[in-house]
């Protein structure tokens, strides 16, 4: 997981950084695989595995800003961790 994303224990900072990162790859395509699954799914799964305060802040940002499928996934991870 990129350390930059975990350096924010404040959910608002995590959300701002999240938005910046999403903007940087928006509209890009992968040769193989789904970029949303790689980005959103991969980071949600990694944050859930870590379960740290910083990872929880990242999950809260995803729960607020990610597409609906990944918002639900982030919320589920938050409920499991707590």
Half-sphere exposure of 60 (CA within 13 A, CB side): 18
Number of domains in the chain: 1
The mean per-residue pLDDT over the stretch 63-71 comes to: 90
Nearest to 60 by CA among 14, 5, 25, 19: 14
Which pLDDT does position 48 carry in this prediction?
A: 94
Domain containing 60 equals 3-81
How far apart are alpha carbons 73 and 2 in whole angstroms?
19
pLDDT digits (tens, 9 = 90+) for 7-52: 666 767 777 877 887 787 777 788 888 888 888 899 899 999 999 8
| Residues contacting residue 74 through CB under 8 Å, at least 6 positions apart | 44, 59, 60, 62, 63, 66
**Is residue 1 scored above 50 in pLDDT?**
no
Q: Record the pTM.
A: 0.74
pLDDT for 7: 65
- Residue 5: both structure tokens together: 């994303």
CA–CA dist 59, 65 (Å, integer): 10
């Amino acid at each position: 997981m990129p350390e930059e994303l975990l350096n924010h224990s404040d959910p608002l900072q995590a959300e701002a950084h999240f938005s910046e990162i999403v903007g940087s790859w928006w509209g890009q395509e992968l040769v193989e695989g789904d970029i949303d699954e790689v980005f959103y799914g991969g980071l949600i799964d990694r944050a859930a595995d870590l379960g740290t305060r910083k990872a929880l802040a990242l999950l809260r940002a995803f729960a607020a800003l990610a597409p609906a499928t990944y918002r639900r996934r982030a919320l589920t991870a938050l409920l499991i961790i707590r």
